[in-house]
Chains A and B, each alone.
Chain A
Amino acid sequence: MKEILHDVERWRSRGERVAVATVVATRRSAPRPVGAKLAVSESGELAGSVSGGCVESDVCEHAREVLATGTPKLLTYGIADEDAWEVGLPCGGEIDVFVEPLPE
């Protein structure tokens, strides 16, 4: 949380809303520990990370939706299926990411 606070405050001082994604569980290997966060501003700026870059762009799409609807969501990412072009983790792990609008 500490690593994203500065950016979050900067975005909010510009009047932007912010969504925060948090790794809430990992199974087998995972690039970032439980508690790792990615903050996304309304205009699409990013701070922090929830993986080694593998799932961030997909999380951003969900973050936009969460900001639009105001409803949080829990996402699960598993092993990437290359043929299907799915978003996933090449390390063979699985992560649960909770995306929520940051309360005022």
Chain B
Amino acid sequence: MTLFERLAEAIEREERAVLLTVVEGEPLGAHVLVLESGERLGDGVPEAVVGSAAELIRSHRNRIVEADGVRVFAEVFAPPPRLLVYGAVDTAEALCAAARLLGWRTIVADARARFATRERLPSADELIVDWPAEAIAQVAPDHATAVVVLTHDEKFDIPALEGALATDAFYVGALGSRTTQQRRRERLLARGMPEEALDRISGPCGLDIGAGSQPETALSILAEIVATRAGRAGGPLGASTHRIHAEG
């Protein structure tokens, strides 16, 4: 199988990979393809760059890398990010509908089978009826997964947050008033969760856009998730000194 055929296959199978191309210097146009599994095809790219492939894949950012006097373009291939919502409430459907607009994969989990139904959640790509720990183990959130906890019920919210914080999820959010957040924080601390792990929770989740309806709430939460993934705070572009678009 040629490098290009393997790349087409990786895209088709949604495997994570990085294609390294020498764009300045010699050998000009040389390619190396590295898959997340470590599989490697091609040659001619400095070892210093090939060695950083895992890190490049994880950054999900296309960019130029320089080494040994040559410039190498690193192009990252990855499936779309995933959104796991624990709590099959109305906001979960609005959140899934909005996330699908972005091309993301959506998963909704709830232990209550009456809530987690196809009729109530037509926009979820996947439905899981299970308790938080089991549902999170099944989904196995990674660095490209956002988790939002929406049940409004501590017997689900607490273990769901505990489970999510034990993963690499790039975003962990929870709905609820400031009073709820404070009480939840105390409960999690009492169960032995370290303070710095709790700081990862965005709660009440979402950006301050004055959301009222369910779709507006979904927009607010999703906007915060996108900003977190891009490493941005989420203010008005007019007041920003950053580049307008995310890098890569």
| A interface residue numbers (CB < 8 A to B) | 1-2, 5, 9, 22, 24-25, 28-30, 33-35, 71-72, 74, 96, 98, 100-104
Contacts and interface: CB of A to CB of B under 8 A. Distances in A.
A29 B244 CA distance: 7
Nearest to B8: A5
Given A24-B23, A100-B21, A103-B2, A33 B245 contact: yes
A103 B3 contact: yes
A35 B248 CA distance: 7
26 contacts: A1-B75, A1-B77, A2-B11, A5-B11, A22-B73, A28-B243, A29-B243, A29-B244, A30-B245, A33-B248, A34-B62, A34-B247, A34-B248, A35-B76, A71-B29, A72-B28, A72-B29, A74-B24, A96-B23, A98-B21, A98-B73, A100-B21, A100-B29, A101-B29, A103-B3, A103-B4
Contacts of A25: 64
B73 A104 contact: no
Contacts of A1: 7, 11, 75, 77
B82 interface: no
A12 B100 CA distance: 33
Given A34-B248, A72-B29, 16 more contacts: A1-B75, A1-B77, A2-B11, A5-B11, A9-B8, A22-B75, A24-B73, A34-B63, A34-B247, A96-B23, A98-B21, A100-B29, A102-B4, A103-B2, A103-B3, A104-B2
